[in-house]
Each structure stands twice: as C-alpha cells, then as structure tokens.
Amino acid sequence: MSHHPSGPTSPPPTDPPTGGPGNGQLAVVGGGVIGWSVAWRAAVAGWSVTVFDPRPGRGSSWVAGGMLAPLTEGHPGEDALLELGSESLRRWPAFAEQLTAAAGRPCGLSAEGTIVVGWNAGDRAELARTVAYLAGRGRLVTQLDDDELRVLEPGLAPALRSGVSVPQDRSVDNRALLAALRAAADRAGVRTVERAVSDLDDDGVRGADQVVIAAGTGSPTLTGPLRSTGALPIRPVKGEILRLRARPGAVPGPRHTVRALVHGRSVYLVPRSDGLVVGATQHEVGADTTVTVGGVRDLLADATAVLPGLAEFEFAEHAAGLRPMSPDGVPFIGRLDDRVVLATGHGRNGILLAPLTADAVLADLHRSPLAEVAAAAPGRFA
Amino acid sequence: MSHHPSGPTSPPPTDPPTGGPGNGQLAVVGGGVIGWSVAWRAAVAGWSVTVFDPRPGRGSSWVAGGMLAPLTEGHPGEDALLELGSESLRRWPAFAEQLTAAAGRPCGLSAEGTIVVGWNAGDRAELARTVAYLAGRGRLVTQLDDDELRVLEPGLAPALRSGVSVPQDRSVDNRALLAALRAAADRAGVRTVERAVSDLDDDGVRGADQVVIAAGTGSPTLTGPLRSTGALPIRPVKGEILRLRARPGAVPGPRHTVRALVHGRSVYLVPRSDGLVVGATQHEVGADTTVTVGGVRDLLADATAVLPGLAEFEFAEHAAGLRPMSPDGVPFIGRLDDRVVLATGHGRNGILLAPLTADAVLADLHRSPLAEVAAAAPGRFA
C-alpha cells in the first residue's frame, strides 16, 4: 500500500492566556526559540517583556534541523521525553497558526511526515526495535515495502528496499520560525537588549518582577549554585549540521524528512524550501563549536549514500551548535524560586518542545503549574 | 634510505630590469598573482602602472593550492608545460627573495618537497608511469619504501606502504603571496582601481601606452575577436578546494605537500602554517563557482583515507575557483599587437608560472621577447 501520511490530530486553537496589561516586568534571558516563544506569549498575556541575548536568534536555534519528531527521536527507556514531545507536537498546529497570524508571516511548519530507513541488516534490526517500542506505546508507524518507499521518496538509493513511515512527525524551518517569533514578539511590544547577562544581579534583570531563564548551555552560570541541587546539571553536546542547496539540473531533494542509520551512524535530512539540512553529529567536547573534518565527511558520505542525487547539490553551509543536555534528556521547565522560572536544558528537542514550554512557563508565571510538564521539574535531581 | 629533499639549484638573484622613470603608462587588467607580479616588476622597471580588478586578489589566486609542482603536475605528452614549469620554478627562489625584501613581509615559500602515494595497485601503477616519464626527462624522483615514507610523513595511513619523493617541487602560501605582491606593488607606486574593465576602449585603459591582459577566464571578453585566431581559446575549469585547520589535540598535519591517487581520483594536501589546503576537483561546467556536495565529499574521504588524523581538524573553508585553461594547458604569454601583451590562460599553474611570466612580460614590454616562453606564443592556434 502506498499512502500519504495524515496529519496529527490537532486540538482546536486555544487563545493565548490574556492577563491584561499590568502583570508586571518580565525579563527573559536567552533569545532562542524557547526564549522568544515565552516572550511573545507573555507579552500577549500582558507582561512587559524584555529579552536579553548578545546575539538573538543566533545560538543553537539557528543551527537546528527543526525536526518535530518525538516518535523518530523516541528510544526505549525515554518514556518521559516521548510523552513531553507528543504533548508538544499536539500543540504545534495551533501554535503555528497563532504565530503566523501574529507575525504576519509563515513560520515554516511542514505538513510532511518522516521516512526512516536502515542501510544494512544491522541498521534495520536496530530500527525494528524502535518501531516495536513505538507501536507498543500506541504510536502510528507503518512498514513500507520497496514500491511504497519509492513512491514516497523516489530519490532514495536503489539498495534501500524497505523503510518505515512515521506520518505524525513533522518539521519546521528553524530560521523561518525564528523570524516569525521575533516579528510576533516585536509586534506584541517585547523589548530586545542585545547583550550578555552573566548573573541575575545584572542591572537590567534586577528590576524585573519575574525572570525566565532560557539561556541554553549558558543557564548554569546564570542560576549559580542552587540551594537544592548544586549547579544546574546542563552540559553542552555539540551537533554539526550542513545545509545543502538545490542547483539547476540537480534531481529534487526529499519531500519528507528522511532519517537513516548507516553502519550504525544516524543521519537526518530535513527539507527546506531551497534544499535541505543534514545533521547531526553528537560530540561531548565542552563548549566547542568547531566543525570537524570527520563530522562533515561522515554526514556527506551518509547523506549521499541514502540520496545519491544530493551529490549535485551545492554545499552551502556548515555549522555547529551546542545542545543544552540534561542528565535524563528531559528539560528543566518550572519555577526555581519566587522570582525565577526555568525553561532550559531542552537538548535536541528545543524546537519541538517550544509550544508546550511556552504554555507551561505562562502557567507558572500565573502560579498554576501545568501538570503535563511534571517530568521536567527543576528539582528532580535534588 | 631516508633522506630530506634537497632544494632546487637556484640561480643567483638577478636584479629586476630597471628602465628608469618614464617608460610610460602601463595598464594591467587583472589583479591576481600574474597581474600583481607583472605590475610590481614593471613599476620597479620605471613604468607608471595601474591595475584594474573589481576584487583584487580574490579570484582564482585566492582559491589556489599554491603548489609549485611542475614535476608532480607533469604528465606524458605535456613536455612544453613541464619545461615552462621547470624554468619558472628555477626562478622562484630569487623571485621570492626579491619579493620578500620589496614587500617587507614573507611571501610564504616553503622549503619542503612533495610526497606522492597511490592508494591501491592501480593507482600505484599509474604513478609509476609518471615517475618513469619524469626520470626519463632527467628529473629527480626517488622511490620510498615503507620506513622511508613514515620517517618523512608519520601521519600517512598504515595501508600506504610505499611512495615517491619529488624533492624539487615546492609550495607557496597563495594568500601570503598575494599580500606580499600587493605590498610590494603598493611600495613601488602601483595604482589599483577596483572596478571591472570590460573592453580595451575602457576610459581607464585607453590612455595607457601599453596594456597587459592578465584577467584569467575574463581574458577572452577583453581581447574580443582576434585578427588571427578568433576568440582567445580560454575556458573555465572549476576547481573546488577546502581549507582544514589544526585543532588543539589533533595530530600534526603533513610537513610536505602530499599528492595521492585514491581509486583513480587525484587529491593534494598542501601545508599551511595553521593547517592545510586540500584540492582539487576538476569540472568543466562553465563559469560556475558553486561548491558541490560530491566534490567536498570526495576530497574529505580521500584526504582522510591518506592522512587519517585529519578527521580531527577543523573544516574551516570551502571554495571554488575558475582555472583559465588553454587547449594545450600552456598559457598565452607574449605580444598580441603593438599595444597589448597577453599573460593569461595559466590553467592550474598560474602561481608556479608567475616569475617566468613576469620576466617574459617585462621583456616583451621592452621589445626583446624571452625565448624560454616560445611555447606560450599567443598566435600558436592561428
């Protein structure tokens, strides 16, 4: 059977919470997708919001692949993350609709799902374990035979004879999203201060009634030693990504997000309007954003093994970002003390988790925490 | 036997020809290595020189690997090019010495020779043919066994068990060279006009007593239809190169230029003070400087096959340049008419051939053509 993936079941758009003007001064430290999402929603809800970031929108959100993929990122043993991701994905269509209207420009959400393939028998066996895990949790994953696979993605290498369709996973153009968030925030009256904030005694932050920390790998420095847990346990995990651009005469790029295991190495290919993003390596090497020869070599070799026509694309950009990773892969979302709310440590899933995180932070600001993010409680390692 | 390559026999530095002030107005169209070499030497010789280039020093000279390699670029059937290259290499040490003094800064000439390796039996057989050709023409090429190879370049892949030393080939840091040429030219009073010249009726060029065309792939447009030969037969051949940068903790890069054949594909690795240049693909695709996915993939795969430690280097830069290629690979150096001298069409060998080309053009300007460049006569396809 050949089929087109159907969209996820989307709840009706809910209006953002409105508290009216006069909720007070809110400082958001960090101008990535999480920080901007919170800032926009808080400003709409009546907060007077200032975002602090030395280079707004140019951190790991800028480098991201933009997969909204709780399912294809799902791994046995990471149930809490799967549930958080599924909950946030459910909120994405309404979030995108409101954002597009508020920004007056598209936010880059794609309607296409994900295709997963394995290069050799070992790779396919590993994928089968993930598929079984997801199916066991009631998720929609569909085995594809050779014909079905080629109907969905004609450019796949002939050696790939089977695959898996994950129709509910989505992707978003991370840079279109950043531009839309910035535009919506600007329209809602958010102020942006382009400088680094190194601690919460900072002149600009000290006067705020509430502070949201959404500073990714910079968050532990900001929070300092916590009463209960010592330093916030977030470490940088480097990810290298490439951007490939279609050229006249080259075969079309993929229409779906394509994820592959190639000799045990994971590669993803996420479509963009002018080409695609290829990612992503994972290196635990501290705060190092150097793109390595070995990283680029492996990404290109694996990407062109899976989709040979990409060899004729333009090699347009290489970059590395730092994922803010927690010990269990689950972010820290929730109140730290009377004045400070955390929205950080999202690891690989910051863009996926943005709608849920923004909703949860707004709920925290209004002192009614969201039960859906209980697994992301800041104090869970105390 | 392990040995260090000895330097080429260098003639004593000759003083540049000095014609004294008042030789007249000289327009040089093209600010690459050839154009700047001619401009500097002509200004020293008393010409009042103006260089025209919309982006001086940013054409194919900027992208080049900088090999001074008439021998390792030598191929059976290209005798004329081998002789031109050998003659120019003989002039390089004195040229570099004069340039360094004139510029007040080093011009990036390396004292190390070249190591050549073949990945598999077929690659080694192909190299053996070139070695036999060069030895037959009296050039110094030395077979290296496993031990000798590893003493010279410890980072070579263990699978490489033999190689060839070409001690007389050299390399130069093309960007240090461009900076030195520019500095020397400035000090000698050369004027630079940063704009494109599209024909010789150009306002800036029309008043010059003599004109040198050193505009690479832009040269045919400038010369228009030639009385004798139709258009100047120069076509662009795209070359993609990468720059890799050493990182703390990475093994050292190569000390020599390393050339390899890997499954029939040619790759070269040219040391720089902070890393190396890896090149170069060859594509006959017109005036297209897009860097392709397949090009980068192959260069990285081949470079890290030969020197595995490069995987930990930084992937610093990718670029493509357009080699101005003539039908026989030999440039066009010499007088076109009473007012115009050609110094173009150098293909892969512009940097190697710069000293000889500058000497020959100066000789042409003074109406005493150099016999050594007879093979590069502009009218040879008439």
Task: Report pLDDT digits (tens) over A277-304.
Answer: 999 888 888 889 999 999 999 999 999 9
Inspect the interface and report whether the beta carbons of A293 and B301 lie closer than 8 Å.
no
Smallest Cβ–Cβ distance between A292 and the set B290, B297, B312 belongs to: B312
* Residue-level pLDDT, tens digit, chain B, 382 residues: 334 444 444 554 454 455 445 689 999 999 999 999 999 999 999 999 999 999 999 999 999 999 999 888 778 788 899 999 999 999 999 999 999 999 999 999 999 999 999 999 999 999 898 889 888 888 889 999 999 999 999 999 999 999 999 999 999 999 999 999 999 999 999 999 999 998 888 988 999 999 999 999 999 988 877 766 678 999 999 999 999 999 988 889 999 999 999 999 999 999 999 999 999 888 888 889 999 999 999 999 999 999 999 999 999 999 999 999 999 999 999 999 999 999 999 999 999 999 999 999 999 999 999 999 999 999 898 7
pLDDT of amino acid A114: 95
Helix (H), strand (E) at residue A123: helix A121-136
Among residues A8, A11, A310, the alpha carbon closest in space to that of A170 is found at: A8
Quick: pLDDT tens for A221-254: 888 777 666 789 999 999 999 999 999 888 899 9
Chain A / chain B CB contacts < 8 angstroms: 67
CATH of domain B20-107+173-227+327-381: 3.50.50.60
Among residues B324, B333, B316, the alpha carbon closest in space to that of B378 is found at: B333
Chain B interface mutation, best of A297, A302, A312, A317, highest count of B Cβ atoms under 10 Å: A297
Inspect the interface and report whether the beta carbons of A301 and B303 lie closer than 8 Å.
no
Cα radius of gyration rounded to whole Å, chain A:
20
Helices (H), chain B: 33-44, 60-63, 79-103, 121-136, 146-152, 174-187, 203-206, 219-223, 293-306, 354-365
pLDDT of amino acid B22: 62
Shortest CA gap B292–chain A (Å): 4
Inspect the interface and report whether the beta carbons of B294 and A312 lie closer than 8 Å.
yes
Smallest Cβ–Cβ distance between A314 and the set B292, B300, B313 belongs to: B292
Structure tokens at B368: 């005493």
- Indicate the average pLDDT of chain A: 91
Residue B37 exposure: Cα atoms within 13 Å on the Cβ side: 30
Strands (E) in B187-246, as ranges, are 191-193, 210-213, 235-245
Residues in A closer than 8 angstroms to B315, CB to CB, are 291-293, 295-296, 318
Chain B interface mutation, best of A247, A293, A310, A317, highest count of B Cβ atoms under 10 Å: A293
pLDDT of amino acid A22: 63
Structure tokens at A240: 């290298």
φ, ψ for residue B31 (rounded to 5)?
Answer: -110, 55
Inspect the interface and report whether the beta carbons of A297 and B304 lie closer than 8 Å.
yes
Please answer whether residues B55 and B80 qualify as being in contact, where contact means their C-beta atoms are separated by less than 8 angstroms: no
- Letter for the amino acid at A379? G
Q: What percent of chain B is helix, strand and coil (3-state, nearest 5)? A: 35, 25, 40
Shortest CA gap B315–chain A (Å): 5
Residues in B closer than 8 angstroms to A293, CB to CB, are 244, 300, 303-304, 310-315
Rounded distance, CA B301 to CA B92, Å? Answer: 33
Quick: pLDDT tens for B271-311: 999 999 999 888 888 889 999 999 999 999 999 999 999 99
Chain B CA closest to residue A243: B293
Chain A CA closest to residue B311: A294
pLDDT of amino acid B4: 42
Smallest Cβ–Cβ distance between A291 and the set B303, B304, B314 belongs to: B314
- Letter for the amino acid at A269? L
pLDDT of amino acid A76: 79
Question: C-alpha dihedral over B336, B342, B345, B350, to 10 degrees?
Answer: 160
Smallest Cβ–Cβ distance between B296 and the set A247, A294, A315 belongs to: A315
CATH of B114-167+236-325, one of 3.40.50.300, 3.90.480.20, 3.30.1360.120, 3.30.9.10: 3.30.9.10
Shortest CA gap B244–chain A (Å): 7
Residues in A closer than 8 angstroms to B313, CB to CB, are 292-293
Inspect the interface and report whether the beta carbons of A300 and B296 lie closer than 8 Å.
yes
Smallest Cβ–Cβ distance between A292 and the set B290, B314, B318 belongs to: B314
Q: How confident is the model at residue A199 (pLDDT cuts 50, 70, 90)?
A: confident
pLDDT of amino acid A137: 85
Strands (E) in A74-215, as ranges, are 114-118, 142-144, 163-166, 170-171, 191-193, 210-213
Residues in A closer than 8 angstroms to B290, CB to CB, are 247, 314
Shortest CA gap A94–chain B (Å): 37
Residues in B closer than 8 angstroms to A304, CB to CB, are 293-294, 297
φ, ψ for residue A211 (rounded to 5)?
Answer: -130, 130
Inspect the interface and report whether the beta carbons of A244 and B291 lie closer than 8 Å.
no
**Is residue A337 pLDDT above 70, yes or no?**
yes
Which residues between 300 and 329 in chain A have a beta carbon less than 8 angstroms from any beta carbon of chain B?
Answer: 300-301, 303-304, 310-315, 318
The yes-or-no answer to whether A20-107+173-227+327-381 and A114-167+236-325 have a common fold is no
Structure tokens at B153: 């370049």
Chain A CA closest to residue B249: A285
Inspect the interface and report whether the beta carbons of A292 and B310 lie closer than 8 Å.
no
Inspect the interface and report whether the beta carbons of A297 and B292 lie closer than 8 Å.
no
Residues in B closer than 8 angstroms to A297, CB to CB, are 297, 300-301, 304, 311
Please answer whether residues B117 and B13 qualify as being in contact, where contact means their C-beta atoms are separated by less than 8 angstroms: no
Quick: pLDDT tens for A124-139: 999 898 889 888 888 8
* Chain B CB within 8 Å of residue A139 CB: no
Residues in A closer than 8 angstroms to B253, CB to CB, are none
Smallest Cβ–Cβ distance between A297 and the set B247, B292, B301 belongs to: B301
Residue B221 carries which DSSP code? H
Inspect the interface and report whether the beta carbons of B297 and A301 lie closer than 8 Å.
yes
Rounded distance, CA B113 to CA B254, Å? Answer: 11
Chain B CA closest to residue A316: B291
Smallest Cβ–Cβ distance between B291 and the set A295, A297, A315 belongs to: A315
Residues in B closer than 8 angstroms to A310, CB to CB, are 293
Chain A interface mutation, best of B247, B292, B293, B315, highest count of A Cβ atoms under 10 Å: B293
Residues in B closer than 8 angstroms to A292, CB to CB, are 247, 311-315
* Chain A CB within 8 Å of residue B296 CB: yes
Residue A263 backbone class (left: φ over 0; alpha: ψ -120 to 50; beta: rest): left
Tell me if ipTM is over 0.90: no
**Would you kindly state where each structural domain of chain A is located, as residue ranges?**
20-107+173-227+327-381, 114-167+236-325
pLDDT of amino acid A254: 96
**Around Cβ A42, how many Cβ atoms within 10 Å?**
28
Shortest CA gap A153–chain B (Å): 20
Residues in A closer than 8 angstroms to B304, CB to CB, are 293-294, 297
Smallest Cβ–Cβ distance between B313 and the set A244, A292, A303 belongs to: A292
